[in-house]
Amino acid sequence: MQITPGIFKAYDIRGIYPTELNEEGAYAIGRAFVTFLGAREVIVGHDMRLSGPAIFSAVTRGIMDQGADVVNIGLVSTDQYYFACTRLGLPGMMVTASHNPKQYNGFKMVRQMPYLLSGAEGIQDLRRIVESDAYAPTTRTGSMRTLDLSDEFVEFVLGLIDIETLNRRRLNIVADTGNGTVGPILQRIYERLPLHFIGMYLEPDGNLPNHGLDPLMAENRAELERRVVEEGADAGFAFDGDGDRFFVIDDRGRFVSGDFLTALLGRYLLQRAPGSKIVYDVRASWAVRDLISAAGGIPLIERVGHAFIKRRMANENALFGGEVSGHYYFRDFNFADSGIIPSLFVMEMLASGGQSLSALLKPLEEKYFISGEINSTVANPKERLEALASAYADGVIEWIDGISVTYPTWHMNVRASNTEPLIRLNLEATTREEMERRRDEVLAIIRG
């Protein structure tokens, strides 16, 4: 059948409903998934998007028509879906477009936890099967059963922390789930904890009446930043649409970068498992490398993307992993990412240490000056990367994921987006003046 090839991304399938991804396409992708994996049973969940029920119905019909049974886990966060795939040892399809705007939908697909289908390993195979109608012959029609693992999930994540530690300092937390999927399960978990909890937009609503689903965009977290200051809160927590990404606002109402949070959490978690390996992505601040090394851990750099980080962590048996984009991965969660689990560890870290979050961040802010991720729309990303390689040929150049260039006092990573027509710059220097000068210099080359 004819299907929009651009929806088959590096880490998942994602497109606008119904022009790029519709029921017919979802049905075909369900059949292709079963054909590719030879699956006999598939877990399927969905987020709160308005097109979710239609896409869910179509993809599960495709799975069953291709001869496999469906385990319907219903409206769940993506970390609940990973938990179900781990718990049952089954492949899965999560109907979600993560943090994309409400008109999008798609699939995050598990081969066998912690391994997900990625562009090079499975996703392009699905596209070829759909385009050529190359489905495996089948003689049976599958059936569907429903399964609610939410009670088990709540007990599991609460078991990862020492709840008694939270009694040492009763935290005041504001959490914004942005009408995404994670609100109901977050409430069930937080009501078991000794803290003062203020929830914002906890009700799943695909109309998104309040703000967008990506807390990396400043306008989507502005209200939370204000609320943290108004409430005198210890921290504000934000979650993306499907709840697998997590973001923090400190007690000053300031956004905490993902690399600084990776550094702080990594150092904290190493107290439990000294000498462990910690994985971080190529965009990250030197703070991650330095804090992990100083705490006796082994920092490992990896390319961006959950499919790559999970695989590397599993291969290395790493304790923890973090990405600048707000994904946090845990060995105790089968190397998967979760939004809820890091929120619990942040609370435990704050309660056990007695320091405010801003006090923990202060030494990093005084030493590491980061640009944050800066996006540029360019016609030919490959040419721009080659221009950077030529301009900075006297630096240490690596091509792990895009181009990374390192000098004694500054470094950068520039990579093409896997999901949008953009080039992304992350740059850091040891002084603010140099960071701003190098940032502007590099952007001038990128934007040509």
Q: What is the Cα 137 distance to its own chain's centre?
A: 36
Report d(CA 291, CA 304) in Å as an integer. 20
Exposed (0-12), middle (13-18) or buried (19+): which is 159, by Cβ within 10 Å? exposed
In three-state secondary structure terms, 353 is: helix
Peptide bond into 18 cis (omega under 30): yes
CB 302 within 8 A of CB 308: yes
Tell me which of 51, 77, 98, 257 is the catalytic residue. Answer: 98
Helix/strand/coil percentages in the chain, nearest 5: 40, 25, 40
Distant-in-sequence, close-in-space partners of 289: CB < 8 Å, separation ≥ 6: 280, 299, 301
The CA distance from 283 to 424, in Å, is 10
The rounded distance, in Å, linking the Cα atoms of 329 and 341 is 9
Q: Is 98 annotated as catalytic?
A: yes
Instruction: Specify whether the CB–CB gap between 347 and 264 falls below 8 A.
Output: no
Residues belonging to the active site: 98
